[in-house]
Amino acid sequence: MQAVHVKRAYKFRFYPTDAQAAELSRTFGCVRKVYNLALRARTEAWSLRGERINYNATSAMLTAWKKTEELAFLNEVSSVPLQQTLRHLQGAFTNFFAKRARHPRFKSKKKSRDCAEYTASAFRFRDGKLTLAKMTEPLEIRWSRPLPEGQAPSTVTVSRDSAGRWFVSMLCEDPAVKPLPAVDAAVGIDAGIISLVTLSTGEKIANPRSEREDGECLARAQRALSRKARGSANREKARGKVARIHARIADRRRDFLHKLTTRLVHENQVVVIEDLSVRNLLGNRRLSRAISDASWSELRTMLEYKCAWYGRDLVTVDRWFPSSKLCSACGTVREKMPLNVREWRCGCGAVHDRDVNAARNLLAAGLVVAACGDGVRPQRNTPSGRSSVKQEVVPPQRKRTAAQPRG
């Protein structure tokens, strides 16, 4: 049986020449324009006539748009990124009609990410040099790590972040990514703020609080930005300074999460997490900033694709499972557990650390799922005879996607 290779995206920073930067900026603008035109056409067709327009129809529209005097500038850039953005729009509508995502939104020049995707027909990769369509010189890339030996990129995505940094992401097959040898260990993970994660083993991993190190610098930069006149060159420079600080914070946070998740996946065969609704939790005005800085969503995303890469099982426990209020020794469920209670004693005499107890309960529920392969709704009774909250465990979903961030 032939091994299935995983496709990984290798991201590098590059420094374009003035001509390359101008060409890419034009491409970003054209990609955004085509996406918005196609989205408007598809939305109007559905709302006015009840008609669904697919990728082929929008591709024919693109050909017609290029022939008009108003949109003739679309001919000045490579056609491949324009076709790719139509494919991305088709995927967005597919997810929308399948109720996996919201309705696609129009791209904003200020808020949307600048990016363009090139397929193999629109770039040349030879001897470690990448040359994009409509360009005569290769990109000056900082090769922070080598691509997989003998592999060439199938697609290339060029992007520019809000701090003005340029990145190129190359999608390649990576034969080195394969299932790891099976181990007997399993771990339950309780996400928090003081401790970023608490493991069922009792280990607590401190929250690095990535924003705190640059907090004062960020506050000064934001105050300086607020004093600048809108539309002025000084305001744009101040905005760039704020963006660079945010980028530094995000890089630090992402690096920490990559190291943590890689360790957890390598050490454990089964990883159990809680299905937290981060969007709802952000409604808490006192904790929203700390929750955003902890980046629980990114932590879960990394665990999902790394478990798929390395043959591990990721089990997700329903968010209503009373992991904190449930005694891991006798099964009694407390009616209330305020956030300020960090340690509590059960009627059976067991003394629990709130987070460690929650992680152990998550592990126990996750192992039930891993053993039977289906959802579990245990109905527990408290010593007083009253029924406790129903507990549901969501069965694991192991996903393997075409392109994933670096590991």
Catalytic residues, by residue number, are 190, 274, 355
Neighbours of 225 (CB within 10 A): 18
Report how far apart, in Å, the C-alpha atoms of 302 and of each of 176, 260, 407 are.
Answer: 18, 10, 8
Tokens of 143: 């090769």
Q: Of the candidates 353, 354, 350, which has an alpha carbon nearest to the alpha carbon of residue 337?
A: 354
Nearest to 196 by CA among 207, 188, 209: 207
Positive or negative, the CA dihedral 98, 102, 106, 107 is negative
What one-letter code names the amino acid at 345? Answer: R
Structure token pair of residue 146: 């080598």
C-beta separation of 191 from 207 below 8 A: no
Identify which of 65, 84, 69 has the alpha carbon closest to the alpha carbon of residue 27.
84
Asked if residues 47 and 205 have their Cβ atoms less than 8 Å apart, the reply is no
Asked if residues 206 and 40 have their Cβ atoms less than 8 Å apart, the reply is no
Q: Cβ(361)–Cβ(200) under 8 Å?
A: no
Q: How is residue 367 annotated by DSSP?
A: H
